[in-house]
Amino acid sequence: VDAVKLWLMWRARGTKGLAESVDVAMAAVDYFFQKIKSRNGFRLVLPQYEGNTISFWYIPPSMRDQKENEDWWKKLYDITRKIKELLVLEGKLMIGYTPMSPKNLGNFFRMVVCCQPPPTLQLMDYAIEQIERVGEKL
């Protein structure tokens, strides 16, 4: 199915148009990565991103000065789930989260940037602002 979608998009846009779509998406990925890397309250799961996915946590102000023990991490994993739930219920943002059990990591956000609809830097800022807005209250 994915191969058919790729082929259809390639046929509709041509090689140059498809390449431009990928370039726009990857520029948005890099922009998002750089923004959260330097922004208070965000922590990357990995030091670099791979492909079009960035994995991260949002740490609310109420947790930033606390000792990072097992209970702290459990609370952060729950907060990740809660932020996603609230954003979806409000109809503001759909962002995925997942654990990485083999590495003993609980829930973290996975920002996946696709070519369609074309991502903008404003949309990347919006996602960051919405996560902060909801997360700051927890």
pLDDT, tens digit, 9 for 90 and up, residues 26-70:
999 999 999 999 999 999 999 999 899 999 999 999 999 999 999
Mean pLDDT of 93-109: 95
**99 cis-preceded (ω within 30 degrees of 0):** no
The continuous run of DSSP H or E covering 44 comes out as: strand 42-44
Contact 131, 58 (CB under 8 A): yes
The residues near 99 (Cβ < 8 Å, ≥ 6 apart) are 77, 105, 106, 107, 108
pLDDT for residue 6: 85
- The reply to whether the predicted model has a pTM over 0.85 is yes
Mean pLDDT of 86-104: 95
Query: CA 71 to CA 43: how far, in whole Å?
Result: 18
Where does the pLDDT of residue 1 fall: very low under 50, low under 70, confident under 90, or very high at 90 and above?
low
Domains and CATH numbers, the chain: 2-135 (3.90.1150.170)
